[in-house]
Amino acid sequence: MRLSKIVWLITLAIFAPQAAHAQSVSKILGYLEIFVGLFLTASIIIFVGAVIVYFTRYGTPRRGDVFPFMEWAIAIVFVLIVLLGLIEFFREHTKTALYVLGVIFFFLFVKILMVAAREKSKAPAAPPAPPPPPPPPGR
């Protein structure tokens, strides 16, 4: 009985990473797509609200106060569209994208190690010299 449990655990250890990898990447991309979709909806609502406020303030001096909201909403829409394109790329070319991300993280890790080693090798600054003694009294 104990041997069958060990064989089952070894089999699970061999085949589980592939199944977990495929499932986790797909789930993460799905959650990210939902997140981006919600923010895309929110930015479009903000833009439409700003346009409505712009037209209702016709003839008032504060009409231009909504321009920053419109600008940010448009910028967010374009950024989110690019993110949706990246998500689609990851979905279609998962192995290639993970390889590229792995190489990027490896080089970032090496850079962090190099900076840490450089900081550690710097000699500490000498402590400041003590202040000179006060002049003798009376002279």
* Residue-averaged pLDDT of the chain: 83
Residue 121 lies in a domain: no
Structure tokens at 93: 């070319």
pLDDT band at 133 (very low <50, low <70, confident <90, very high): confident
**Residue 111: inside a domain:** no
Q: Is 110 within a domain?
A: no
Q: How many residues would you count in the chain?
A: 139
In a domain, 96, yes or no: no
CA pseudo-torsion sign 53, 55, 56, 58? positive
Mark 31-56 as b/e (b = at least 16 C-beta within 10 Å).
eebeebeeebeebeebbeebeeebee
The model's pTM is 0.57
Q: Which has the higher per-residue pLDDT, 4 or 69?
A: 69
Give the pLDDT score at 24: 76
Whether residue 138 is contained in a domain is answered as no
For residue 52 the two structure tokens come to 């409505």
**Chain CA centroid to CA 127, Å:** 40
Total number of domains in the chain: 1
Q: Return the pLDDT at 63.
A: 84
pLDDT greater than 60 at residue 22: no
Q: Which domain holds residue 61?
A: 7-89
39-85 confidence digits (pLDDT tens): 999 999 999 999 999 999 888 888 888 999 999 999 999 999 999 99
Helices 67-92/94-121 angle, 10° precision:
110
Which of left, alpha, beta for 138 (phi over 0: left; psi -120 to 50: alpha)? Answer: left
With contact defined as beta carbons under 8 Å apart, do 88 and 36 qualify? Answer: no
